[in-house]
Structure 1
Amino acid sequence: MTVSIATPSAQPLHAEPRPTTFPLDQWYVAALGWELKDKPIGRTLLNKSVVLFRTADGQVAALENRCCHRALPLSDGTLEPRGIRCGYHGLLFDGQGKCIEIPGQDKIPSKALVPAWHVRERDRIVWMWFGSEAHPEPTHEPPTYEFHSNGEYVYDGDVYHYDAPWQLIHDNLMDLSHLGYVHLRTIGGNASIHMNAQMKVEQEGDTVRVIRHMPGSEPPPTYVAAYPFKGKADRWQQIEFMVNHLRIWTGAVDAGTDSLDDPSRGGFHMRGFHGITPETETTCHYFWSIATNPQQDHEAVKAKVVEQTAMTFEEDKVVIESQYRNLCQFGERSMIDIHVDAGANRARRVIQRLCQAPG
């Protein structure tokens, strides 16, 4: 299993190019909008140390996490109406990385700058551009995610840090057959039904889609807690992989009441956003949200679904980090593929091709 592939570097607006191992000319998730409040956040993304914060007008800024005076992380500083102030000697930087104040000194050197990154917030997801040497400026806008803003769903989410490479999480999310074994207390259900689900794998460009149908299933605990099923349910799982995030639409209707091919079908829905952003070659950040469509008791159902979803991700985290430790221990040992690996293998081929493509 390949966990890293060399490719040219992402660059901030003023930085020199450096090698990296990830696809470039992409928007990657840097934060969830509700994380950025009254304090800066320091985070390493694609091997770049970044500080994220909101300016006084509510815009998100992303700067290199290093004061140009004596190199203290700017994330150790404080936010003020005009920008971020270094916690060592008080230099004040605006959202573009320009020093606008040096305490006790009127003249500000022209080199008093901190590299700034292109960043956008859409539907409460903060995206950061990692361009190649050929494309340091964004060539397109970041994705939208309407389930955070269309009013039809309630949602919440969180961030996890993984001591494992990002593609192991892709593998996990592209293959939901593991639910019957890893998530028995929450969204699992009958393991045999999961392993034998009707599955279709599609690909369009760099997008890979896995569609799984499980008619006549017993609804798992999370579903029963959130929706008044009358008995057995027809379940679906639709996973959509893109380089910078995955979308997973799961849910169920009472058995025999609605077509699982109808995009406007009713029943219980869970819309998962999964922004998997590398930190380094061997660690990553997992930004997630879950949106659902309660029929009643909206806040109570949302709280239950979010709680149960967090439990499933914590279960996945234990498995994936343990898997990676074993991969490191055993080294380059061959592994077999089985039928449920088709989607994950396609996703890996997309990443490999993009890493090898010229910038």
Structure 2
Amino acid sequence: MSTSQIQSLAYEVGAPTELPKFPLNQWYVAGFAWELKDKPVGRTLLGKPVVLFRTADGQPAALEDRCCHRALPLSHGTLEEQGVRCGYHGLLFNGAGQCLEVPGQAKVPTKAKVPAYHVRERDQILWIWFGSADHKEPTYEPPTYDIHSSGEYLYEGDVYHYDAPYQLIHDNLLDLSHLGYVHLRTIGGNAGIHMNAQMRVESDDKTVRVIRHMPDSVPPPTYTAAYPFKGNVDRWQEIEFCVTHLRIWTGAVDAGTDSLEDPSRGGFHMRGFHGVTPETENTSHYFWTIATNPKSNHEETKAKVVEQTAMTFEEDKVVIEVQYQNMLEFGPGPMVDIHVDVGANRARKIIEQLRQES
């Protein structure tokens, strides 16, 4: 592992006096649209406590999670038609952070407001902008994800909290060779085939793409539970990394039936969205959805895929959190790279460059 990579790991397991450092001027995932119901949602993102809620006109809002009166988290308050009301003394704030009412007092102080963040809702994903001093306003719109809105797939998702730095989650998702060892009950399969998969890695200054093919392999349990394969299958794994999220397209066709280079190939598909947002320098939020294309028994098949996917991510969570605890125990010593680390190492270089530019 190179010196720069060791330094990148070092800040994750380093002294507690170090401040968290993340790429700014990016749209990070803050949550999902279905989370904003009748209560405010409190969440720390990039070290910033944020309260999320929906305004009367249906628009998402994000404020600093701190009442300007006596600092109670606004996420401990209640929602009303005009905004969020503090649960301590009842100050009412709108989606822009302006105080609209102080109970028992006719005049609202001019300074009675809390910082507001830019937040957007696209394809059921909530995106939040943490800009730098030079780019407080968004410089571009958040990504689209039409897998959620095209009508071609059924999907569900959830939010996990990790006691580990966010880049360890990136590493895990960019290296699917571990499936044969960590996920034997679900999406694993033959470990030797995973470790020897045909792989190519493409990258530029903002993205990394890892493509893995495993022709003529035995379908794993999740695949056979969801799709009527006739025997061995040709599997694919296509991973696209961006600094705030990853998109992973996996699946299989009956062996020898479709080209794995054909973007419109048939077979069984699993399309995963993975929003990886730092909570602090040592903890993370993992926002995921899984979409699939059932051929029959649609709701039943979707439920199976979602259940199996959740089991998979729970297995990953155990491994990553224990891995991080061991990194803390042993300190930021050098680690050996192997052939499956190419994508993750390139992603770390992109993040380091974006941190320096923030």
Q: TM-score when scaled to structure 1?
A: 0.95
Query: Counterpart of 2:81?
Result: 81
How do 1:118-129 and structure 2 match up within 5 A?
Answer: 118-129=118-129
Identity %: 75
Query: Counterpart of 1:161?
Result: 161
Query: Counterpart of 2:43?
Result: 43
Query: Counterpart of 2:230?
Result: 230
**CA deviation profile, 1:225-265 (whole Å, cap 9, x unmatched):** 10000000000000000001000000000000000000000
Partners of 1:35 and 1:285 in 2: CA distance: 14
- Counterpart of 1:148 in 2: which secondary structure? coil
Whether the 8 Å contact between 1:78 and 1:86 is mirrored in structure 2 is: yes
**CA deviation profile, 1:164-216 (whole Å, cap 9, x unmatched):** 00000000000000000000000000000000000000013311000000000
Whether the 8 Å contact between 1:42 and 1:52 is mirrored in structure 2 is: yes
The alpha-carbon deviation at position 334 of structure 1 amounts to: 1.4
Residue identity matched to 2:316: D
Q: In 2 relative to 1, CA 30–226 (structure 1 residues): closer, same or farther, beyond 3 Å?
A: same
Q: In 2 relative to 1, CA 60–129 (structure 1 residues): closer, same or farther, beyond 3 Å?
A: same
Partners of 1:59 and 1:4 in 2: CA distance: 40
Query: Counterpart of 1:3?
Result: 9
Query: Counterpart of 1:111?
Result: 111
Q: Which residues of structure 2 form unaligned runs of 5+?
A: 1-5, 13-18
Partners of 2:141 and 2:205 in 1: CA distance: 18
Q: In 2 relative to 1, CA 191–48 (structure 1 residues): closer, same or farther, beyond 3 Å?
A: same
Matched, 1:102 2:102: yes
Whether the 8 Å contact between 2:217 and 2:234 is mirrored in structure 1 is: yes
- Counterpart of 1:3 in 2: which secondary structure? helix
Whether the 8 Å contact between 2:214 and 2:235 is mirrored in structure 1 is: yes
Query: Counterpart of 2:246?
Result: 246
The alpha-carbon deviation at position 136 of structure 1 amounts to: 0.4
The alpha-carbon deviation at position 70 of structure 1 amounts to: 0.6
- Counterpart of 1:118 in 2: which secondary structure? strand
Whether the 8 Å contact between 1:187 and 1:312 is mirrored in structure 2 is: yes
Partners of 1:333 and 1:71 in 2: CA distance: 41
Partners of 1:188 and 1:194 in 2: CA distance: 8
Q: Which residues of structure 1 form unaligned runs of 5+?
A: 7-18
Total equivalences in the alignment: 346
How do 1:1-359 and structure 2 match up within 5 A?
Answer: 1=6, 2-3=8-9, 20-357=20-357, 359=358
Partners of 2:102 and 2:177 in 1: CA distance: 57
**CA deviation profile, 1:58-105 (whole Å, cap 9, x unmatched):** 111000000011110000000011110000011110111011111111
- Counterpart of 1:274 in 2: which secondary structure? strand
Residue identity matched to 1:309: T
The alpha-carbon deviation at position 306 of structure 1 amounts to: 0.5
- Counterpart of 1:135 in 2: which secondary structure? coil
- What is the CA RMSD across the aligned residues, in angstroms? 1.1
Partners of 1:314 and 1:3 in 2: CA distance: 23
Partners of 2:307 and 2:153 in 1: CA distance: 16
Residue identity matched to 1:294: P
Whether the 8 Å contact between 2:20 and 2:280 is mirrored in structure 1 is: no
Residue identity matched to 1:63: L
Q: In 2 relative to 1, CA 287–54 (structure 1 residues): closer, same or farther, beyond 3 Å?
A: same
Whether the 8 Å contact between 2:9 and 2:332 is mirrored in structure 1 is: no
The alpha-carbon deviation at position 57 of structure 1 amounts to: 1.5
Partners of 1:351 and 1:24 in 2: CA distance: 10
The alpha-carbon deviation at position 20 of structure 1 amounts to: 4.5
- Counterpart of 1:146 in 2: which secondary structure? coil
Whether the 8 Å contact between 1:3 and 1:165 is mirrored in structure 2 is: no
Partners of 1:83 and 1:106 in 2: CA distance: 18
The alpha-carbon deviation at position 3 of structure 1 amounts to: 3.3
Partners of 1:237 and 1:352 in 2: CA distance: 26
Partners of 1:159 and 1:193 in 2: CA distance: 31
Q: In 2 relative to 1, CA 134–184 (structure 1 residues): closer, same or farther, beyond 3 Å?
A: same
Partners of 1:332 and 1:338 in 2: CA distance: 18
- Counterpart of 2:347 in 1: which secondary structure? helix
Whether the 8 Å contact between 1:72 and 1:88 is mirrored in structure 2 is: yes
Residue identity matched to 2:317: K
Residue identity matched to 2:81: P
Residue identity matched to 1:176: L
Residue identity matched to 2:356: Q
Whether the 8 Å contact between 1:3 and 1:281 is mirrored in structure 2 is: no
The alpha-carbon deviation at position 4 of structure 1 amounts to: 6.3
